[in-house]
Amino acid sequence: MTLDVAFSPLGLVPGDFAGRTVFVIDVLRATSTMCAALHHGARAVIVADDASDATRIAQRLDTSDVLLAGERQGERIPGFDLGNSPAEMDEVAVKGKTLVMATTNGTAALLATTGAREVVVAAGVNLSLAGARARAALEEGKEVLVLCAGRNHGFGLDDAYLAGRLVVEALGGSRRRRGLNDAALVAVDLVRRYGDRLERVLALSAAGRALTAIGNREDLRVAAMVDRHPVIPLYHDQRVTLADVEGRR
């Protein structure tokens, strides 16, 4: 069994993802937002490198069913239809739509996963399903990597803690530590420290404090609602879509 955690994509190369099942976490807020959008009926989320790339993709698609979504430094990108807020992603806004999204950290983490066997979008809002998916991968002998988007190419408490929650779910309550890398051990220790107080951790984190400072405290509350959006979003070829009922794309 191999279950690794990486606290950010910095320093990782395509070979680090090759053949692995990868779970990407940006709890504040990209992966929480993607789960909310797909749960509420969005057809897909297309991942863009930046605002200019997102605009080019949307223009190329040339359809009224496309919405631009994203943020820079927490704020909605000027001219975009939506920001990067799970609270925005209700049925009225996104049902039947394709979102083209660019964010500060989360979309970059997804784009980094070149060569992975499978890439799963994970957050608190789909924690149990994501954990079950990770546990099944381990039971099948697959190598699993939990990739945190992090904050500005570095460590983020919010993502690291959620990675620990995912590792605990993947282990199914087992206390075994063989096969975990050092970052996974640290992530599990964060869970021991904070227990199940996800919203508390989000509020303590630098990302959470920054969002609160610009009036987005509601996003912390929504992102902390464990299993609120029970979906399995899969990322492939710059597109995030729901797995079907049997777990395939």
Quick: pLDDT tens for 55-85.
999 999 978 899 999 999 899 999 999 999 9
Name the pTM for this structure: 0.96
Domain region containing 181: 3-240
User: Does residue 185 sit within a domain?
Assistant: yes
The CATH number of residue 112's host domain is 3.90.1560.10
Averaged over 155-182, what is the pLDDT?
92
**Distance of alpha carbon 30 from the chain centroid:** 6
Q: Look at residues 95, 87, 122 and name the one whose alpha carbon lies nearest to residue 5.
A: 122
pLDDT at 91 > cutoff 50: yes
pLDDT at 46 > cutoff 90: yes
pLDDT at 247 > cutoff 90: no
User: Does residue 247 sit within a domain?
Assistant: no
Is 2 strand, coil or helix?
A: coil
User: Does residue 31 sit within a domain?
Assistant: yes
Torsion over CA: 116, 117, 119, 120 (sign):
negative
User: Does residue 249 sit within a domain?
Assistant: no
Averaged over 245-249, what is the pLDDT?
49
User: Does residue 118 sit within a domain?
Assistant: yes
Torsion over CA: 77, 79, 80, 86 (sign):
positive
Q: What is the pLDDT of residue 176?
A: 74
User: Does residue 149 sit within a domain?
Assistant: yes
Question: In the sheet that 118-122 helps form, which strands lie side by side, from edge to edge?
Answer: 3-6, 144-148, 21-25, 118-122, 233-236, 239-242, 44-47, 98-102, 66-72, 75-76
User: Does residue 80 sit within a domain?
Assistant: yes
pLDDT at 245 > cutoff 70: no
Is 74 strand, coil or helix?
A: coil
Query: Cis bond leading into 133, ω under 30°?
Result: no
pLDDT at 234 > cutoff 90: yes
Using alpha carbons only, what angle is made at residue 191 by residues 190 and 193, rounded to the nearest 5 degrees? 65
User: Does residue 248 sit within a domain?
Assistant: no
pLDDT at 123 > cutoff 60: yes
Number of domains in the chain: 1
Q: What is the pLDDT of residue 246?
A: 45
Categorize the per-residue pLDDT at 249 as very low, low, confident or very high, splitting at 50, 70 and 90: low
